[in-house]
């Protein structure tokens, strides 16, 4: 009897130890859609990374969204710090709302600003989805009314209200890359959402088109350093938020970078 109790306890310890040994990727692979995505896409992703000169799996990824161009860029690196490489761009067919930030529940807007992936949904209504941390500190300060809204995702399908739909096919790839980066220790995957490419041409076009909306131009002027600094060195800048909700963007290494 004493031996039986000891044996049962030993089995329990072994099972508990094996559970604690599970990685983030192990847990994600328990979901059928994630497992299927890996079976379908992993080989192609490895080849894509080889072509781009980036070791797979990535240790870090960075996501940029350009609303006017309806483009999602994925940058990656196999190193803990240093410059990133553009690996792939995805188009999305539908843009909910208009250019400009999201400020309230039900406005149909895709947010603009500096965010990070806050959760993974392997059983999404839109196949797979990556949630961003909207509303962040800035959004909560600058909200219009009591409720700024929420539940903003990059997801599958091609329909949406306020999110970024890149189709079921492409979300499989992006989800895998996010899982791999998180599994290798990237605590926050930055997602920066801009109204458009803020290069010389894109910025001039925005200023011309929205010259009568000074508040919007001033908001975009705050976002622009985040675009410019990354373009200069391919390193994600550090971002903080002032007491008035204003983004403060500074040059930094990835190690020191923060995201609201």
Residues with active-site annotation:
155, 163
State the first-to-last Cα distance of the chain, in angstroms, to the nearest integer: 57
| Residue carrying the six token digits 């791999």 | 180
H-type helices in the chain, by residue range? 2-20, 24-28, 32-52, 137-142, 167-183, 200-209, 214-233
DSSP 28-68: HTTSHHHHHHHHHHHHHHHHHHHHHT--SS-SEEEEEEETT
Neighbours of 125 (CB within 10 A): 10
CA 143-106-162 angle, to 5 degrees, is 95
Contact assessment for residue 94 and residue 167, using Cβ atoms and an 8 Å cutoff? no
Q: Return the SS3 of 153.
A: strand
User: Backbone dihedral region of 32: left (phi > 0), alpha (psi from -120 to 50 degrees) or beta?
Assistant: alpha
CB hemisphere CA count around 103 (13 angstroms): 11
- Asked whether the beta carbons of 218 and 206 are under 8 A apart, the reply is no
Q: Report whether 200 contacts 208 (CB < 8 A).
A: no
């Amino acid at each position: 009897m004493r031996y039986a109790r000891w044996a049962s306890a030993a089995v329990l310890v072994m099972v508990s130890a094996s559970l604690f040994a599970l990685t983030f990727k192990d847990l994600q692979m328990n979901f059928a859609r994630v497992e299927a995505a890996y079976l379908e896409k992993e080989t192609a992703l490895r080849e894509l990374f080889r072509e781009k000169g980036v070791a797979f799996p990535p240790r870090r990824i960075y996501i940029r969204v350009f609303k006017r161009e309806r483009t999602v860029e994925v940058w990656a690196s196999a190193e803990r710090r240093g410059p990133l490489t553009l690996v792939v761009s995805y188009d999305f067919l539908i843009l909910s709302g208009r250019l400009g930030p999201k400020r309230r529940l039900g406005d149909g807007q895709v947010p603009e600003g500096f965010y990070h992936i806050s959760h993974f949904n392997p059983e999404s209504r839109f196949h797979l989805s990556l949630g961003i941390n909207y509303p962040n500190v800035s959004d909560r300060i600058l909200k219009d009314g009591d409720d700024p809204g929420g539940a903003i995702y990059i997801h599958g399908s091609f329909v949406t209200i306020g999110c970024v739909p890149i189709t079921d096919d492409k979300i499989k790839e992006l989800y895998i890359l996010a899982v791999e980066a998180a599994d290798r220790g990237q605590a926050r995957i930055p997602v920066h959402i801009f109204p458009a490419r803020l290069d010389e041409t894109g910025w001039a076009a925005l200023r011309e088109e929205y010259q009568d909306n000074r508040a919007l131009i001033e908001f975009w002027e705050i976002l622009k350093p985040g675009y410019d600094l990354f373009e200069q060195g391919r390193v994600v800048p550090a971002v903080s938020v002032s007491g008035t909700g204003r983004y403060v963007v500074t040059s930094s290494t990835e190690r020191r970078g923060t995201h609201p």
